[in-house]
C-alpha cells in the first residue's frame, strides 16, 4: 500500500471482506512445491489485475485488507520456497506504485558528502590545503564558486541522449533508491524531461549526463501544505520542517501523491558524464541553466577569501529572507582540472567544503509554562518566552512536548533557556542555563485538573499524555471539536474559520454542533445580528447561512468523522460507514456492543484495523449520555445519508473527474457531489486539463471560462442529470 501515514491517498471504496480474493486455498505450510508454484503464479496474476484496477482505473475490486492478505500470502510462500520466486513476483515489482519499497540504483559516480567548516579560520585552512595540494604559487588566484547549501534532499538525475531516464536518492552514497516516477512529477519545477538544446536524436547534448541536485520545499509552500494536511484529519501526516516534508514526499510509493506536493529542485553538480566539455564549475552552472535546470541565483564566483566570507556572512544574516531553508554556503574550486586533480578523501571531495551557518539559537527567559487543551483533551505544555529573535524570526513560544520532557530537561518558570530553530517552525527548548536559575524557581508540576474547565486531568497507564476528562463540558475541547466538526473533511463549512468559532463560542452563539444548524434562526432574534458584527456583512452572513443549509445532507462517513471520536479518522469513519451502512444501525450496534460478551462487540472488533482499543473508544463515545443528546438533537437537523457503497464500474462517470460550478436547481451541490461520487466520479474543486466534465449551473463564472479555454466538456445541469439518470443509485434515489 502507499505510505500508510498519509491519508491523502485515494480511499479504497470497498464494503466488507469476502473470501473471493484469497480463494479457498490451503494454508501456506500445507502446500507442496507444485502447488506453491501454481499459487505464486495465480497470486502474481491477481495482484497485477488489482493493481491496475486500483491505480489506473480507480476502481478497486477488493478491500485493503484483502489486498494485504494476498501480498502476505505471496510473501509467506516465497519465504518457504525462495527459489520459486517469479520474475514478475509482486514483491519484486519495484518502483511500481504498490511496491513495498523502491528498487535500488547503483550510482555510477558515488554521491559524496561534504566536510564542514564552522569558522572563517577553517575556510582559510581549506584554501591553504588546496594550494598546497596543487603546489600553487602564492600569487596564483584560486577562483571559488560559493553556493547556498540547500536544506533538502539530494538526488541524482540521469539523462541519456538528452532524455531523463532514471532518478535516485543518495542512499548510502554508493546505492540509492529508484525514485524515477516520483521525480518525473518535478518536470518544469527545476528539472527538464529532456535537456534543452539537443535535437530529437540527442545531438547537441551529452550522451550521458547525471545531474545532482537538491529537492526542497519553500517555507511558505511547506506551511500551506501542512495546513492542508491538518485539514485532512488527524491521521494526515504533519511534518516538522520543509526538509522532512520534501523527503517524505519524494519517498511516497504512489507518484500521484508526490505530484500533489509543492516540490522544486536546484541543480548544482554532476555524476557520470560524457562527453564533458566545460572547464569550470561556473561554466557548468551556466550549461545546467541552458539545459533547462533551475540553478540557484544566489551562487557567486569569488576570487578571494574575503569575497567568499562576505557571501557567507551576508546570507547568514539574510537567511530568513531566502524563501527556502539554507544551512550554509558550499565553496567549490571553480577550475574543473583542479577539481579532478584534488579528487576525494574518504567520503568527501578535497575541492569543496560546506561553511555552515551558526545554529539558529538564542537565549531567553521562560515567563510561564502554559497548558493548552486539544480536541481529545490532551494537555500540551508550552513555554511562554520573553520574545527573542532567532534566525530572523521573533519567537515567543517554544514547545515542551509533554510532562516527561519537561521533567527530563527540568525546565522551570524563571529559567533562562537556550532555544533553537533547527529548520523547525516551532522552536525547541534545547537546555536550561543552570547558572542563571533564580533561587526560588520551583520544579514544574503538571496540573491535576484541566486549566480550562477544572475537570480532573488524568494520565492513563502507558499514555505519555495527560487528558482532561471534561469532554464537551470543557470549553477548550468544545471549541476544538467545533473546529473539527466544520473542517473540510467533515461538514466542510467554508467561511467559518477557527477565529469565528472561537468568537461564536465566547459569545454563546455556538456552543455545540447543534447550534450551528440553528444559527440562522437564532441570529434573527438577536439584538446585533451576524451581518452587523465586526468583520461580517450582509453578504458574508448570507453566504455562511447558505453554506450551512447545503451541508444539512451529509454522508455517513463524513458525519462519523465530524463527530471527532477518538481513533476515528477519515479512513476508520469510512470503514465503519461501510460496515453499518446507516446511522441508526450503527448507533444501535454500538449501544449493544457495550456488552463485551455479546455478538455486537465481536462484530465490531473484527472489523479490519479496528482492535479492542479503537472499538472501546467508539463504544464509549456512543454510551456517553452527553453524546447521545447531541446526536438526537442533530438527527432532527441534518440528514445523514446511508453509506453510498461502491461505484458501479459501468457508470459513464466511473473514474472521471468532475467539477461542479454555479448554482444547481434540482439539488444541493453536496447532493450532486455525493451522486457523482456514488457513480464512481472524482469530484474536485478546480478546473484543469485533467478534468473530464464541468457541470455548469446558473451563474457559473470563471471555471466555465477556464474550461472553455482548455476545450473541456461542459454539461448543463440537465445534461448531467441525463448522464446519471440511466443509472440506479445504490440507495434507491
Active site residues: 149
Residue list 354-413, contact with ligand IVH (CB under 6 A): 354
| Least distance between ligand IVH and beta carbon 296 (Å) | 7
Extract the C-alpha cell encoding 683. 469530484
For position 112 contacting ligand IVH by CB under 6 A, the verdict is yes
Q: Within 196-304, where are the H helices? A: 219-231, 242-250, 255-259, 281-291
Report the interhelical angle of 219-231 vs 242-250 (nearest 10°): 70
Listed in sequence order, the residues at least 6 apart from 169 whose beta carbon sits closer than 8 Å to its beta carbon are 153, 154, 155, 156, 176, 177, 179, 250, 251
CA pair distance 152, 169, nearest whole angstrom: 11
CA 720 to chain centre: 34
Nearest to 211 by CA among 150, 148, 295, 331: 295
Exactly one of 114, 411, 583, 695 binds ligand IVH (CB under 6 A); that residue is 114
Nearer to ligand IVH, 331 or 444 (CB): 331
For position 217 contacting ligand IVH by CB under 6 A, the verdict is no
Max distance between CA atoms of the chain, in angstroms, equals 90
For position 349 contacting ligand IVH by CB under 6 A, the verdict is yes
Nearer to ligand IVH, 173 or 598 (CB): 173
Extract the C-alpha cell encoding 527. 439584538
For position 147 contacting ligand IVH by CB under 6 A, the verdict is yes
Q: Which of these segments, 41-49, 51-59, 148-156, 437-445, binds ligand IVH (CB under 6 A)?
A: 148-156
For position 271 contacting ligand IVH by CB under 6 A, the verdict is no
CA pair distance 336, 354, nearest whole angstrom: 18
What residue is closest to ligand IVH based on CB? 154
Q: Which of these segments, 98-106, 109-117, 364-372, 605-613, binds ligand IVH (CB under 6 A)?
A: 109-117
CA pair distance 30, 473, nearest whole angstrom: 57
For position 154 contacting ligand IVH by CB under 6 A, the verdict is yes
For position 214 contacting ligand IVH by CB under 6 A, the verdict is yes
Nearer to ligand IVH, 330 or 640 (CB): 330
Exactly one of 57, 113, 708, 718 binds ligand IVH (CB under 6 A); that residue is 113
258-to-8, 188, 249 alpha-carbon distances in Å: 11, 14, 5
CA pair distance 113, 43, nearest whole angstrom: 43
Nearer to ligand IVH, 211 or 681 (CB): 211
Q: Is 664 helix (H, G, I), strand (E, B) or coil?
A: coil
Q: Which of these segments, 107-115, 397-405, 478-486, 609-617, binds ligand IVH (CB under 6 A)?
A: 107-115
Nearer to ligand IVH, 273 or 429 (CB): 273
CA pair distance 217, 214, nearest whole angstrom: 10
CA pair distance 127, 355, nearest whole angstrom: 12
Q: Which of these segments, 347-355, 364-372, 621-629, 647-655, binds ligand IVH (CB under 6 A)?
A: 347-355
Nearer to ligand IVH, 330 or 419 (CB): 330
For position 109 contacting ligand IVH by CB under 6 A, the verdict is no
* E-only strand ranges, 112-242: 116-117, 144-150, 153-160, 163-169, 175-177, 208-216
User: How many residues form the binding site for ligand IVH (CB under 6 A)?
Assistant: 15
| Least distance between ligand IVH and beta carbon 24 (Å) | 52
Residue list 162-191, contact with ligand IVH (CB under 6 A): 170
CA 336 to chain centre: 40
Extract the C-alpha cell encoding 257. 501523491
**Radius of gyration from C-alpha coordinates of the chain:** 30
Extract the C-alpha cell encoding 163. 532524455
| Least distance between ligand IVH and beta carbon 216 (Å) | 9
Nearer to ligand IVH, 10 or 251 (CB): 251
Nearer to ligand IVH, 162 or 167 (CB): 167
| Least distance between ligand IVH and beta carbon 678 (Å) | 47
For position 696 contacting ligand IVH by CB under 6 A, the verdict is no
Nearer to ligand IVH, 6 or 147 (CB): 147
Exactly one of 150, 183, 232, 541 binds ligand IVH (CB under 6 A); that residue is 150
Exactly one of 12, 71, 107, 149 binds ligand IVH (CB under 6 A); that residue is 149
Nearest to 667 by CA among 676, 654, 680, 659: 676
| Least distance between ligand IVH and beta carbon 125 (Å) | 18
| Least distance between ligand IVH and beta carbon 113 (Å) | 4
For position 352 contacting ligand IVH by CB under 6 A, the verdict is yes
Query: Is there a contact between 91 and 100 (Cβ–Cβ < 8 Å)?
Result: yes
Q: Is 526 helix (H, G, I), strand (E, B) or coil?
A: coil
Binding site for ligand IVH (CB under 6 A): 112-114, 147, 149-150, 154, 170, 214, 268-269, 330, 349, 352, 354
Amino acid at each position: 500500500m502507499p505510505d500508510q501515514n498519509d491519508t491523502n491517498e485515494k480511499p479504497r471504496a470497498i464494503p466488507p471482506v469476502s473470501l473471493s480474493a484469497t480463494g479457498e486455498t490451503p494454508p501456506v505450510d500445507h502446500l507442496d512445491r507444485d502447488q506453491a508454484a501454481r499459487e505464486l503464479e495465480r497470486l502474481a496474476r491477481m495482484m497485477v489485475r488489482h493493481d491496475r484496477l486500483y491505480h489506473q482505473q480507480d476502481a478497486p475490486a477488493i478491500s485493503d485488507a484483502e489486498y494485504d492478505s494476498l501480498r502476505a500470502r505471496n510473501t509467506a510462500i516465497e519465504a518457504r520456497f525462495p527459489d520459486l520466486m517469479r520474475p514478475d513476483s509482486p514483491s519484486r515489482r519495484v518502483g511500481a506504485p504498490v511496491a513495498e519499497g523502491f528498487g535500488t540504483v547503483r550510482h555510477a559516480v558515488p554521491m559524496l558528502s561534504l566536510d564542514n567548516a564552522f569558522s572563517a579560520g577553517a575556510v582559510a585552512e581549506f584554501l591553504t590545503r588546496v594550494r598546497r595540494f596543487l603546489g600553487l604559487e602564492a600569487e596564483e588566484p584560486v577562483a571559488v564558486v560559493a553556493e547556498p547549501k540547500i536544506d533538502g534532499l539530494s538526488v541524482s538525475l540521469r539523462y541519456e541522449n538528452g532524455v531523463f531516464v532514471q532518478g535516485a536518492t543518495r542512499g548510502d552514497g554508493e546505492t540509492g533508491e529508484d525514485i524515477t516516477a516520483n521525480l518525473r512529477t518535478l518536470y518544469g519545477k527545476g528539472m527538464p524531461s529532456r535537456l534543452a538544446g539537443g535535437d530529437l536524436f540527442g545531438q547537441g547534448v551529452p550522451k550521458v549526463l547525471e545531474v545532482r541536485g537538491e529537492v526542497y520545499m519553500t517555507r511558505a509552500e511547506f506551511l500551506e501544505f501542512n495546513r492542508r494536511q491538518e485539514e485532512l484529519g488527524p491521521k494526515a501526516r504533519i511534518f516538522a520542517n520543509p526538509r522532512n516534508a520534501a523527503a517524505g514526499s519524494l519517498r511516497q510509493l504512489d507518484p500521484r501523491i508526490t505530484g500533489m506536493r509543492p516540490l522544486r529542485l536546484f541543480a548544482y553538480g554532476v555524476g557520470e558524464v560524457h562527453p564533458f566539455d566545460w572547464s569550470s564549475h561556473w561554466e557548468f552552472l551556466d550549461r545546467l541553466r541552458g539545459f533547462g535546470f533551475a540553478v540557484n541565483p544566489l551562487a557567486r564566483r569569488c576570487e578571494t577569501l574575503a569575497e567568499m566570507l562576505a557571501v557567507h556572512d551576508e546570507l547568514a544574516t539574510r537567511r530568513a529572507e531566502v524563501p527556502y531553508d539554507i544551512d550554509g554556503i558550499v565553496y567549490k574550486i571553480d577550475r574543473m582540472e583542479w577539481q579532478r586533480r584534488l579528487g576525494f578523501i574518504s567520503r568527501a571531495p578535497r575541492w569543496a567544503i560546506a561553511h555552515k551557518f551558526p545554529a539558529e539559537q538564542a537565549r531567553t527567559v521562560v515567563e510561564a509554562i502554559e497548558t493548552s487543551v486539544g480536541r481529545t483533551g490532551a494537555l500540551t505544555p508550552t513555554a511562554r518566552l520573553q520574545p527573542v529573535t532567532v534566525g530572523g524570526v521573533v519567537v515567543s513560544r517554544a514547545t515542551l512536548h509533554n510532562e516527561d520532557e519537561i521533567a527530563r530537561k527540568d525546565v522551570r518558570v524563571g529559567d533562562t533557556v537556550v532555544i533553537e530553530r533547527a529548520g523547525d517552525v516551532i522552536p525547541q527548548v534545547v537546555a536550561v542555563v543552570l547558572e542563571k536559575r533564580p533561587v526560588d524557581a520551583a520544579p514544574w508540576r503538571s496540573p491535576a485538573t484541566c486549566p480550562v474547565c477544572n475537570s480532573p486531568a488524568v494520565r492513563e497507564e502507558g499514555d505519555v499524555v495527560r487528558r482532561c476528562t471534561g469532554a464537551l463540558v470543557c470549553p477548550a475541547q468544545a471549541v476544538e471539536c467545533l473546529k473539527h466538526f466544520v473542517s473540510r473533511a467533515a461538514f466542510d463549512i467554508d467561511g467559518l474559520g477557527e477565529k469565528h468559532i472561537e468568537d461564536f463560542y465566547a459569545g454563546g452563539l455556538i456552543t455545540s454542533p447543534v447550534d450551528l444548524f440553528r444559527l440562522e434562526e437564532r441570529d434573527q432574534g438577536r439584538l446585533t445580528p451576524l451581518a452587523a458584527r465586526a468583520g461580517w456583512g450582509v453578504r458574508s452572513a448570507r453566504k455562511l447561512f447558505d453554506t450551512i443549509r447545503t451541508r444539512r445532507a451529509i454522508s455517513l462517513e463524513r458525519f462519523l468523522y465530524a463527530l471527532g471520536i477518538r481513533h476515528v479518522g477519515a479512513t476508520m469513519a469510512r470503514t465503519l460507514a461501510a460496515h453499518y451502512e446507516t446511522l441508526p444501525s450503527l448507533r444501535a450496534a454500538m449501544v449493544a456492543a457495550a456488552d463485551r460478551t455479546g455478538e455486537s462487540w465481536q462484530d465490531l472488533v473484527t472489523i479490519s484495523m479496528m482492535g479492542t482499543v479503537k472499538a472501546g473508544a467508539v463504544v464509549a463515545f456512543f454510551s456517553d449520555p452527553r453524546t447521545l443528546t447531541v446526536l438526537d438533537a442533530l438527527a432532527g437537523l441534518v440528514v445523514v445519508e446511508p453509506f453510498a457503497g461502491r461505484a458501479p464500474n459501468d457508470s459513464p462517470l466511473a473514474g472521471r473527474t468532475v467539477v461542479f460550478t454555479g448554482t444547481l436547481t434540482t439539488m444541493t451541490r453536496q447532493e450532486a457531489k455525493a451522486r457523482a461520487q456514488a457513480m464512481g466520479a472524482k469530484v474536485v474543486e478546480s478546473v484543469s486539463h485533467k478534468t473530464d466534465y464541468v457541470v455548469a449551473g446558473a451563474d457559473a463564472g470563471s471555471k466555465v471560462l477556464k474550461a472553455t479555454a482548455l476545450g473541456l466538456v461542459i454539461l448543463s445541469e440537465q445534461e448531467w442529470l441525463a448522464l446519471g439518470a440511466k443509472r440506479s443509485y445504490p440507495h434507491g434515489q
